[in-house]
């Protein structure tokens, strides 16, 4: 197939493992395949804006409930540090500091962000005694 555009698909809900076109543009790509023709698939899951909004809402609610951090952004940076999402940075003087990694859409995959989010929730629950599941319900 000459078209290099990625084909979007989803997995069916049944027991049989099958992929189905996600949208109309993807149907043509599927139909261009010969029955039984092998293809190479690279799985990439897209990040979710609602999930990201739930994360930031949770952080804001923790800030409001605890006063442990002045802003959700500061709490976010602390979470990344405590959870080990860091990179060593060497200064010109030779000192080495850890700086927080990015969790931006282009820096962290969807499965990795889901794992990070779960670990962040667990850490917040442990440190502040907060029921993060209740926070999630409130954010929805």
pLDDT (tens digit per residue) in 51-96: 889 899 999 999 998 989 999 999 999 999 999 999 999 999 999 9
pLDDT at 7: 67
| CATH code: domain of residue 120 | 1.10.3790.10
* Domain span holding position 131: 49-139
Backbone φ, ψ for residue 72 (5° rounding): -65, -35
Claim to verify: residue 2 and residue 63 sit in the same structural domain: no
Give residue for tokens 């076109």: 21
pLDDT at 91: 96
Claim to verify: residue 3 and residue 59 sit in the same structural domain: no
CA-nearest of 59, 62, 63 to 76 is 59
Bridge-partner residues for 120, per DSSP? Answer: none
CA-nearest of 115, 111, 107 to 44 is 111
Claim to verify: residue 62 and residue 28 sit in the same structural domain: no
Claim to verify: residue 77 and residue 12 sit in the same structural domain: no
Kind and range of the H or E element at 90? strand 86-90
CB neighbour list of residue 15: distance below 8 Å, 6 or more residues apart: none
pLDDT (tens digit per residue) in 92-120: 999 999 999 999 888 888 889 999 999 99
Bridge-partner residues for 96, per DSSP? Answer: 90
Backbone φ, ψ for residue 97 (5° rounding): -125, 150
Backbone φ, ψ for residue 120 (5° rounding): -65, -45
Query: pTM of the predicted model, to two decimals?
Result: 0.68
Counting Cα atoms < 13 Å in the Cβ hemisphere of 39 gives 16
Claim to verify: residue 58 and residue 126 sit in the same structural domain: yes
């Amino acid at each position: 197939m000459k078209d290099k555009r990625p084909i979007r698909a989803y997995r069916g809900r049944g027991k049989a493992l099958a992929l189905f076109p996600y949208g109309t543009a993807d149907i043509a790509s599927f139909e261009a395949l010969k029955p039984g023709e092998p293809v190479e698939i690279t799985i990439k899951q897209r990040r979710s804006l609602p999930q990201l909004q739930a994360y930031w809402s949770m952080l804001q609610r923790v800030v409001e409930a605890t006063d442990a951090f002045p802003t959700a952004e500061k709490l976010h940076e602390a979470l990344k540090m405590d959870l080990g999402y860091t990179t060593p940075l060497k200064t010109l003087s030779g000192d080495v500091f850890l700086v927080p990694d990015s969790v931006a859409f282009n820096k962290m995959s969807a499965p990795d962000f889901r794992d990070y989010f779960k670990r962040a929730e667990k850490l917040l629950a442990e440190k502040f005694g907060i029921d993060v599941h209740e926070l999630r319900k409130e954010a929805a």
